[in-house]
Amino acid sequence: MKKYIHIYLSLSLCVILNFNSYTLLAANRGKNVPKRNDSVFNVLEYGARGDGSSYDTKAFQAAWTATCKANGGVMVVPSGHTFLLQPIIFNGDKCQPNVAVQVDGIIVASTNKLDWKKNTGQWILFTKYKNGITISGNGGVFDGHGQTWWNPKADHERLVAPHAMTISNCNNVTITGIRIQNSPRMHIYIEESQEVKVFNVTVSSPGNSSNTDGIHLSRSQHVDIHNSTLACGDDCISIQAGCSDIKVYNVNCGPGHGYSIGGLGYRGSRALVSDIMIYDSNVQDSMTGVRIKTWEGGSGSVHNVTFSSITMTDVKTPITIDQHYGGARGGMAEASAVSITGITYQNITGTYTRTSVSLLCSEYKPCNNLTMAGIHLMPSKDKKQGRGGGPYCSHAYGEVLTETLPSLHNCLQPILK
């Protein structure tokens, strides 16, 4: 009898344990099982083929529409594929906050000129993101196929050469981990935007590709550009009217036209640029190193600019100010000019191939309060580069705080009071 009682109790305990186990599994069903991330949207799932020959523009647009609806949504462009895109606009005025684009594959621009008939100068346009957007990548490439645009004899029926990537009217933008190459015009064009960070970005185009600025800034504030390599056919970084609080550091520039402010004051326009810092960077095989250029007849000002700890290697003219950019109209300088004051050059070193320092300022609006310290520029040892010279100063006023090479004591005149 005791034997049967023992068996009965054992069976009862097993039933109870199994019941509790099933109850526990039911209660936790799915908790430890990976779920599909509802905030990630892969362009392949929206019809993109990624074969490099089929248009994927509509699929990208559909994937982005879905991404915008998710707070923190991410549109993924996967590796192992090449996606062909016509001009496309990613509009963020109805997007949830903190959306992102993750580019791990290759995106190429159409070379069919019919696709650019309605283009207004952009290939990939991000606009109206007021709540933040991140454009990042892990080996991702944007290829603008600019070779078909750079040839001045190319038949484009007066089509506007597009910028590769445009950021327009946005706040809180991050661009990182991508490569932009062979842009028809500017590689990254940033306008009317604030709180922009660009880092770990590579720009690559031949030195003879016309008007292919690496990063072009217009009417933008609080921009931070660092740890990037920019090689192009024009300014590595171009800073235009309406820009302030711009920091550039740990950037490698060349070939190209160096780091430029301007040209400002075109056709009598008013330009204001202030609080610019470019430091701890390099320039090589470039037309200019650090440059400020303004058109005659303009107005406004450039002030509080610092160029510091920049190494030049075989740069034609490392330090340049040109208030006669484009040449005097009618052979005579105009009485109006953009004012240039409070410019500091510190620890600018390296080699030049044409002119060490060229400060060609306006007799009507002389450059004033220029500061020079730690300037050490030698002619290039590469005889093929030509013969160096300078310095040249005209209507330039400031002070030299240390001994410089070449000597600038007799080049700058005492500060105007």
**400-414 tens-digit pLDDT:** 999 999 999 999 999
Report, as an integer, the average pLDDT of 109-124.
Answer: 91
Q: Do 234 and 243 touch, CB atoms closer than 8 A?
A: no
What per-residue confidence (pLDDT) applies to 394? 96
Instruction: Express as a percent the part of the chain with pLDDT over 90.
Output: 80
Q: How far apart are CA 260 and CA 244, in angstroms?
A: 14
Task: Give the CATH number of domain 235-417; options: 2.160.20.10, 1.10.3660.10, 2.20.28.270, 1.10.10.10.
Answer: 2.160.20.10
Quote the tokens at residue 82. Answer: 């090449």
Q: What is the three-class DSSP state of 370?
A: strand
Per-residue pLDDT for 6 more than 60?
A: no
Catalytic residues: 234, 257
Q: Where does the pLDDT of residue 30 fall: very low under 50, low under 70, confident under 90, or very high at 90 and above?
A: very low
What per-residue confidence (pLDDT) applies to 38? 80
Give the chain's mean pLDDT.
89
What per-residue confidence (pLDDT) applies to 348? 98
What per-residue confidence (pLDDT) applies to 157? 58
What per-residue confidence (pLDDT) applies to 389? 81
Cα dihedral sign, 388-393-394-396? positive
Distances (CA, A) of 406 to 185, 320, 377: 36, 14, 7
Q: How far apart are CA 124 and CA 108, in angstroms?
A: 11
Q: How far apart are CA 187 and CA 122, in angstroms?
A: 10
Q: Which residue has the tokens 């960077």?
A: 281
Distances (CA, A) of 39 to 18, 69, 99, 148: 38, 9, 9, 38
Q: How far apart are CA 172 and CA 197, in angstroms?
A: 8
Report, as an integer, the average pLDDT of 161-179.
Answer: 97
Q: How far apart are CA 407 and CA 302, in angstroms?
A: 25
DSSP letter at 171 equals E
Number of H helices, E strands in the chain: 3, 29
What per-residue confidence (pLDDT) applies to 117? 87
Q: Where does the pLDDT of residue 159 fall: very low under 50, low under 70, confident under 90, or very high at 90 and above?
A: confident
Per-residue pLDDT for 33 more than 70?
A: no
What per-residue confidence (pLDDT) applies to 32? 32
Residue type, 88: I
Cβ-based neighbours of 152, under 8 Å, separated by 6 or more: 210
Report, as an integer, the average pLDDT of 120-146.
Answer: 96
For domain 35-225, the CATH architecture is: 3 Solenoid (2.160)
Report, as an integer, the average pLDDT of 85-98.
Answer: 95
Report, as an integer, the average pLDDT of 168-197.
Answer: 98
Q: Do 295 and 324 touch, CB atoms closer than 8 A?
A: no
DSSP letter at 353 equals S
pLDDT tens-place string over residues 305-346 = 999 999 999 999 999 999 999 765 444 467 789 999 999 999
Q: Which residue has the tokens 């647009």?
A: 61
Q: Where in the chain is the domain with CATH 2.160.20.10?
A: 35-225, 235-417
What per-residue confidence (pLDDT) applies to 118? 84
The phi and psi torsions of 285 (rounded to 5 degrees) equal 50, 50
Q: What is the CA radius of gyration of the chain?
A: 29
The phi and psi torsions of 121 (rounded to 5 degrees) equal 110, 10
What per-residue confidence (pLDDT) applies to 119? 78
Please tell me whether the overall predicted TM-score, pTM, comes out greater than 0.85 for this model: yes
Per the rule left: phi > 0, alpha: psi between -120 and 50, beta: everything else, 249 is beta
The phi and psi torsions of 411 (rounded to 5 degrees) equal -95, -50
Q: What is the three-class DSSP state of 269?
A: coil
